Amino acid sequence: AFDMLVVGGGPAGASAAIYAARKGINTGLVASRFGGQVQDTVGIENFISVKATEGPKLVAHLEEHVRDYDVDLMPHQSVSAITPAHEVGGLIEVTLANGAVLKSRSVLLATGARWREMNVPGEQAYRGKGVAYCPHCDGPLFKGKKVAVIGGGNSGIEAAIDLAGIVQHVTVLEFSDTLRADEVLLRKARSMANIEIITEAQTTEVLGDGEKVIGLAYTDRRNGEVHQVELAGIFVQIGLVPNTEFVRDTLALNPRGEIVTGAKGETNVAGIFAAGDVTDSPFKQIIIAMGDGANAALGAFDYLIRTPVP
Ligand code: FAD
């Protein structure tokens, strides 16, 4: 059995695994996709002490650093359930999607988050055929074409500004009557001639020709009128959903579905810790996730040395 089993291989999980291994304890790391969201990031300019880097480059460094330690790395494995120990200090069971069961005295969840979907007709059918979630990754595919960004928060307006430099025209559709993005971003977006912002617009359908996106339909919430916009791409930027489905019945989650954690990364179940975007920590950033992973690993280590094996 492991002393500490980390679930997730993003910045939080990688950091946690290194901190655990440096304590000389038996450490494992299971991840469906090593690197997590960082794998989808192009430019990173706020990872302090590294002026500028790229997601895949940072992920390669993360993996190299983890592999430098005695960590049992299990990539391409997804966890489907966690079963708490029968007694405090006992073994926690981690069930993989392939049916295998791993056992560990402590478990550190760092499963991160993923883009929220619109849940409208056509979205799934045209995913990757015009419906996109990552402007950094897919923006260049729409060079010279018309696109929409769904969502007027920081990520939506950032995406619009980013895309406006590549595509012909960007229509931003925001559901509410106000834009929630920072003023500095809104000012920048409004100064760009090829960005149009429409508020009180409820996207109702992704329209396609059977092969790719050709437009979208939205309802003007002021008067109920239905409009169609012709475009080639739709970037959905309506927030992040924490990857916590597999612990919904095991751990205390907040109303957003994030794992509620204490100062040492502890959850409401003894021996189970959490770090990074999957938790209720308010800001979701690489440097924060890494610090959080280190913090929770030290918290879990503290638990291990203080808790007798039953
Ligand atoms: P994640 O990176 O989400 O990693 C989660 C890990 O858990 C992955 O390995 C995943 O495969 C794994 N996992 C999930 N579910 C399971 C499961 N059931 N079983 C096994 N493994 C599982 N932050 C910055 O600081 N600067 C930036 O410039 C920046 N740009 C960004 C650009 C984009 C496009 C995106 C999407 C995010 C960006 N962020 C940026 C945010 C940053 O990437 C995240 O805050 C950070 O990656 C969170 O780290 P994490 O380890 O908590 O989770």
Burial 134-152 (b: 16+ CB within 10 A, else e): bbbebbeebeeebbbbbbb
Annotated binding site for FAD: 3-18, 267-277
9 C-alpha to ligand 1 centroid (Å): 8
Whether the pLDDT of residue 310 is over 80: the answer is yes
- Ligand 1 pocket, residues with Cβ under 6 angstroms: 7-13, 30-34, 36-38, 40-41, 44, 46, 78-79, 110-113, 134, 136, 243, 246, 276-278, 284-287, 289
- pLDDT tens column, 155-212: 899 999 999 999 999 999 999 999 999 999 999 999 999 999 999 999 999 999 999 9
Q: Which two tokens stand for residue 294?
A: 């280190």
Q: Position of tokens 């990031």? A: 41
Question: What atom of ligand 1 comes closest to residue 47's alpha carbon?
Answer: 25
Question: What atom of ligand 1 comes closest to residue 134's alpha carbon?
Answer: 34
86 C-alpha to ligand 1 centroid (Å): 31
Q: What local confidence, expressed as pLDDT, does residue 110 receive?
A: 98
- pLDDT tens column, 75-100: 999 999 999 999 999 999 999 999 99
Give the pLDDT band (50/70/90) at residue 239.
confident
- pLDDT tens column, 115-166: 899 999 999 999 889 999 888 778 988 999 999 999 999 889 999 999 999 9
Q: What local confidence, expressed as pLDDT, does residue 40 receive?
A: 78
Question: What atom of ligand 1 comes closest to residue 35's alpha carbon?
Answer: 9
pTM equals 0.83
DSSP secondary structure letters along 13-79: HHHHHHHHHTTT--EEEEESSTTGGGGG--EE--BTTBSSEEHHHHHHHHHHHHHTS-EEEEES--E
308, 89 Cβ separation under 8 angstroms: yes
Question: What atom of ligand 1 comes closest to residue 111's alpha carbon?
Answer: 7
As a whole number of angstroms, the distance between CA 298 and CA 23 comes to: 9
Question: What atom of ligand 1 comes closest to residue 43's alpha carbon?
Answer: 28
The predicted model gives 67-80 an average pLDDT of: 98
Tell me the best of 95, 286, 287 to mutate to test the pocket of ligand 1, counting ligand atoms within 8 Å of each CB and taking the most: 286
192 C-alpha to ligand 1 centroid (Å): 30
119 C-alpha to ligand 1 centroid (Å): 22
Q: What local confidence, expressed as pLDDT, does residue 72 receive?
A: 98
16, 108 Cβ separation under 8 angstroms: yes
As a whole number of angstroms, the distance between CA 124 and CA 20 comes to: 40
Q: Which two tokens stand for residue 265?
A: 């990364």
The predicted model gives 11-29 an average pLDDT of: 98
Tell me the best of 18, 41, 278, 281 to mutate to test the pocket of ligand 1, counting ligand atoms within 8 Å of each CB and taking the most: 41
Choice between 45 and 300, residue whose per-residue pLDDT is larger:
300
Annotated binding site for NAD(+): 146-160
Please state the separation of Cα 267 from the chain's center in Å.
Answer: 20
Q: What local confidence, expressed as pLDDT, does residue 115 receive?
A: 87
Q: What local confidence, expressed as pLDDT, does residue 283 receive?
A: 84
Tell me the best of 111, 133, 236, 280 to mutate to test the pocket of ligand 1, counting ligand atoms within 8 Å of each CB and taking the most: 111
177 C-alpha to ligand 1 centroid (Å): 30
